[in-house]
Copies of this chain bind each other. A is one copy, B any other.
């Protein structure tokens, strides 16, 4: 996750708060995060944040909306490509062979926020939305490919669920273990899965 790309629906003030939240999350993690520390990131008072958001959790839920918007922008890029390239592009984005430091830190922050979803219904709703978005995006690419004859006539939703589970499992492995060769193995196996499931004509 990087937050440098433009997203609509956000006022300049809100965007600045989101960017400050992101920087504070990178530095302190979920457990060390506070409105004061977010305010420190952009020389504003706590009051100016509370003007927009009632609480730390309220702000973090908005932050997850910001992440969702960013995903949407990111995925929209490949939408005009042919289904084959579009699917390859999505996989390359979701399971990069290497993550730069900011991407790694961003995924770490997302896992910390996701862990809150185990006991907090509002966070749970957001992560339901994020996973639905990923599955739907991939499902639509597969359906386009089936329609135009690029892919075999598979159950698109099931294949999409498989890809998203594999991607999410690989990401959590990457940010919570020291298994450095695992992401590349999963990336190769995922490409091979997609080849045999969608592209091979028997």
Contacts of A196 in B (CB 8 A): 196-197
| Minimum CB–CB distance for A192 against chain B, Å | 8
Q: A47 within 8 Å of B by Cβ?
A: no
Q: How many residues of A contact B (CB 8 A)?
A: 47
Cβ–Cβ contact B170 & A124, under 8 A: no
Contacts of A179 in B (CB 8 A): 128, 131-132
- Within residues 102 to 145 of chain A, which ones have a CB less than 8 A from any CB in chain B? 108, 111-112, 114-115, 117-119, 123-125, 127-128, 131-132, 135
Q: A76 within 8 Å of B by Cβ?
A: no
Given contacts A115-B111, A172-B114, contact A128 B167 (CB under 8 A): no
Contacts of A118 in B (CB 8 A): 29, 108, 111-112, 175-176
Contact partner, A168, options B127, B135, B172, Cβ 8 Å: B172
Interface with B: A8-16, A85-93, A183-191, which one?
A: A183-191
Contacts of A135 in B (CB 8 A): 182
Contacts of A162 in B (CB 8 A): 166, 185-186, 189-190, 193
Q: A169 within 8 Å of B by Cβ?
A: yes
Contacts of A202 in B (CB 8 A): 202
Q: A201 within 8 Å of B by Cβ?
A: no
Most buried by B among A118, A135, A173: A118
Q: A61 within 8 Å of B by Cβ?
A: no
CB closest residue in chain B, given A132:
B179
Contacts of A193 in B (CB 8 A): 162, 193, 197
| Whole-angstrom CA separation of A44 from B157 in the bound complex | 51
Given contacts A29-B119, A185-B158, A189-B158, contact A170 B165 (CB under 8 A): yes
Contacts of A197 in B (CB 8 A): 193, 196
CB closest residue in chain B, given A176:
B117
Cβ–Cβ contact A31 & B31, under 8 A: yes
| Whole-angstrom CA separation of A135 from B202 in the bound complex | 30
